[in-house]
Structure 1
Amino acid sequence: MKPMEETHAALICQWAYEPPYHIYNFPAWEDMKKDEIEFGDPVLRKEQYWVAVNEADELIGYAQLFPMGGVTRLGLGLRPDLCGRGKGSLLAQSAASLALSLKPGNEIDLEVLTWNQRAIRAYEKAGFVITDTYFRLLLQGDTGECHCMVFTPDYRCYPQTK
């Protein structure tokens, strides 16, 4: 993984997920920059956002490493055409490894909507386990039921979702 650049951010804003995953679509890049939303804020982008690229240096995904007092919370996004192809677990493992290398003493976790079984399976395969379930406010102003999943490097002792 490498630091997110503005060109990566602009490409991510062009990604279009099919329903029901369309809730993960970002606003237009110009709006993100103007309003300094998430990686539209150059300081936040530099401090928290990373990208994954393939051998041809094509963008395949991104990770946000959000610091929370002893915890690094991951936010992950995989390019839409790669979703459902077994790539999500590799992105999650790469992001967790990066987070551990940057803050070795931190717990690594993420939140995932409970209906997103595709992502949950990918995260479990990467070594994350569900530790809590709760409702929280989503970006669109709705409330959603989420799992908190914690990265457990020795995950082989936990049952995996089929």
Structure 2
Amino acid sequence: MLYLKGVITLFLYGNGEVDVRSLEPGDAALLVNWLSDPSVLEYYEGRDRPHDMDRVLEHFYSDDTEDIGRGIVRYNSQDIGYLQFYPLGDTERGIYGYSEFAGSIYGMDQFIGEPCCWNRGIGSQLVKETVQYLIEVKQAGKIVMDPQCWNQRALHVYEKNGFVRKKRLIKHEWHEGGPRDCWLVEHAGKGE
């Protein structure tokens, strides 16, 4: 743990260059900044859904999401993005075709909110560190994500880190005024 001005900051995991620390109440302004930037929204949430403070507080700080691990991504000690991971519930298991899988399955979502940090390998490091954390600490049997089919840059990063395309999810996610197809991508996780 690192103590800063009376605040406890818990570093969840990282490699010294790319770290993820726990989301704190003071991070809401960062999220508003990132999620009101059209270049970020093009890939995360959609440019037609900018977030103001009320929306950020509702989506990222509500009490009904206690089982979601939420963190701020840091690169060389600078806050640059957001990551969340969560155990898949029965509904998601059914949609994705994992109803019969007895092990734990974690989903994850992330974005780099500082466009100056794109295309530098940081996202790949982040995915690699997160997969390792979920397997070793959370004992994830599988790890899944559902990027939109058009997002080849994200798909490349995920596949580079051991994810494979398992299933095309037709009209799975609403994005910028319409339903979009997504790929279910899976990392085998622990024990497979």
Aligned ranges 1:109-120 → 2 under 5 Å: 109-120=144-155
Structure with the bigger percentage of helix: 1
Asked if 1:27 is matched to 2:54, the reply is no
- The 8 Å contact of residues 64 and 76 in structure 1, kept in 2 or not, is answered as yes
Pairwise CA RMSD of aligned residues?
Answer: 2.7
What are the equivalent positions in structure 2 for 1:94-105 lying under 5 Å apart? Answer: 94-105=129-140
Tell whether 2:87 aligns with 1:67: yes
Unaligned runs of 5+ in 1: 154-162
> Which residue is 1:146 aligned to?
182
* Alpha-carbon separation, structure 1, partners of 2:29 and 2:163: 29
Match of 1:2 among 8, 21, 44: 21
In structure 2, relative to structure 1, the CA distance for the partners of 1:26 and 1:110 (3 Å cut) is: farther
Contact preservation (8 Å) 1:88, 1:123: no
Which residue of structure 2 lines up, in the alignment, with residue 134 of structure 1? 169
In 1, are the aligned partners of 2:173 and 2:182 still within 8 Å (CA)? Answer: no
Deviation at 1:62, TM superposition (A): 2.0
Give the number of the structure with larger relative contact order, counting CA–CA contacts within 8 Å between residues 6 or more apart: 2
Normalised to the residue count of structure 1, the TM-score between the two structures is 0.77
Q: TM-score by structure 2 length?
A: 0.66
What is the number of equivalent residue pairs in this alignment?
A: 150
Distance 2:42 2:69 in 1: 27
Identity level (%): 23
Q: 1:51 to 1:42 in 2, by over 3 A?
A: farther
User: Alpha-carbon deviation of 1:17?
Assistant: 4.0
Q: What CA distance in whole angstroms lies between the structure 2 residues aligned with 1:46 and 1:59? A: 23
Q: Within 2, Cα distance between the matches of 1:92 and 1:129?
A: 14
2:100 counterpart residue number = none
- If you compute each CA radius of gyration, which structure gives the higher value, 1 or 2? 2
Match of 2:141 among 87, 95, 106: 106
Distance 1:142 1:85 in 2: 31
The separation in 1 between residues aligned to 2:69 and 2:182, in whole angstroms, is: 22
